[in-house]
Copies of this chain bind each other. A is one copy, B any other.
Amino acid sequence: MQVLIIGAAGMVGRKLSERLVRDKALNGKSIDKLVLVDVVAPAQPAGFAGKVESVAADLSAPGKAEAMIAGRPDVIFHLAAVVSGEAEADFDKGYRINLDGTRALLEAVRKAGEGYHPKLAFTSSAAVFGAPFPEAIHDEFHLTPLTSYGTQKAIGELLLADYHRRGFLDGVGLRFPTICVRPGRPNKAASGFFSSIIREPLAGEEAVLPVPENVRHTHASPRSAVGFLVHAAGLTREALGNRINLTMPGVSCTVGEEIAALRRIAGDKVAARIRRESDPTIARIVGGWPQRLEGKRALALGFTAETSFDDIVRAHIEDELAGKIAA
């Protein structure tokens, strides 16, 4: 079993690599070789008995997609993308990486010939949905992205479904909810505060909350995100049916409920490290995002996520803080 991860240097890509190294197997088969690709060469995960190849390459550059699949990986995880803010700021780059890059990968697989037929798991996003929304976004809600990133992800889903239907590969697309708590330093993403209001207080630092506590959103932990990908790799065509792009499950809760969970788990002193400082720009951006994703089909297909925000906080403490909270 050979596995290719495109976008392996990103947060989810790194954690997926670590999980596969730890599991040593995927879909019940031993992993002989792991090919890790990103625009910068991904770090080699420690403690893997098989071969690891770390490659720096831009998927959208001529010949690169073909090179990435030269070893005919059995499973491809395609996580590479220019993120939302950058795709909005740089129209050409967003379309080049997120649309042309994805298409280059699909075309490389189609043209490989010799019966090559990999499993391809693609990370999409709740950004394929745009306001106005129903109270909960069900599995048959239409694709109405309001960003170039969301448009590119929606197009990726459609292409993947057509290549799957035509029998060129076995595809599955996963619309991730907002992954929280992201490890690492605060970033400039409009969604960054969802992670920082948990991460910073647990690390003994102050965090800023720029939106009202009644803001509702849907989350899953990094651990769940990796779980989605591993589970997706094992789903059969028969189980998936025609509709291979799935909204992943998650916890829908308000910011107030998130803070209450933090307080339950870490105490008042930690929760008091959140400073309210309203930012109308961030509030407006977040106001255009889906509040509640249902993910019923995904749950029926065996995908699992946390069922309470308490579990999301605990996952962060276990996976990133070795169980220790800064008093």
Contact = CB atoms under 8 A, between A and B. Distances in A.
Interface of A: 91, 130-131, 134, 140-146, 148, 151, 154-155, 158-159, 161-162, 165-166, 242-243
Contacts of A162: 145, 148, 151
B165 A159 contact: no
B166 A159 contact: no
Nearest to A129: B142
21 contacts: A91-B166, A134-B140, A141-B142, A142-B142, A143-B143, A143-B154, A143-B158, A144-B242, A144-B243, A145-B162, A146-B165, A148-B162, A148-B166, A151-B158, A151-B159, A151-B161, A151-B162, A155-B155, A155-B158, A155-B159, A158-B158
Contact of A242 (B130, B141, B143): B130
Contact of A146 (B91, B146, B242): B242
Contact of A154 (B145, B146, B158): B158
Contacts of A134: 140
A149 to B, nearest CB: 10
A12 B146 CA distance: 31
Contact of A140 (B141, B154, B158, B243): B141
A107 B131 CA distance: 26
Nearest to A165: B146
A32 to B, nearest CB: 32
A144 B242 CA distance: 8
Contacts of A146: 165, 242
Q: Which 9 pairs of residues, A with B, have the shortest CB-CB distance?
A: A151-B162, A142-B142, A140-B142, A155-B155, A151-B158, A154-B158, A143-B143, A148-B162, A155-B158
Given A145-B162, A146-B165, 8 more contacts: A91-B166, A131-B242, A142-B143, A144-B161, A145-B158, A145-B161, A151-B161, A155-B159
Contacts of A91: 166
A140 B129 CA distance: 11
Contacts of A243: 144
Contacts of A242: 130-131, 144, 146
Contacts of A144: 161, 242-243
A144 B130 CA distance: 17
A148 to B, nearest CB: 6
A140 B137 CA distance: 11
A216 B142 CA distance: 24
Contacts of A145: 158, 161-162
A161 B154 CA distance: 12
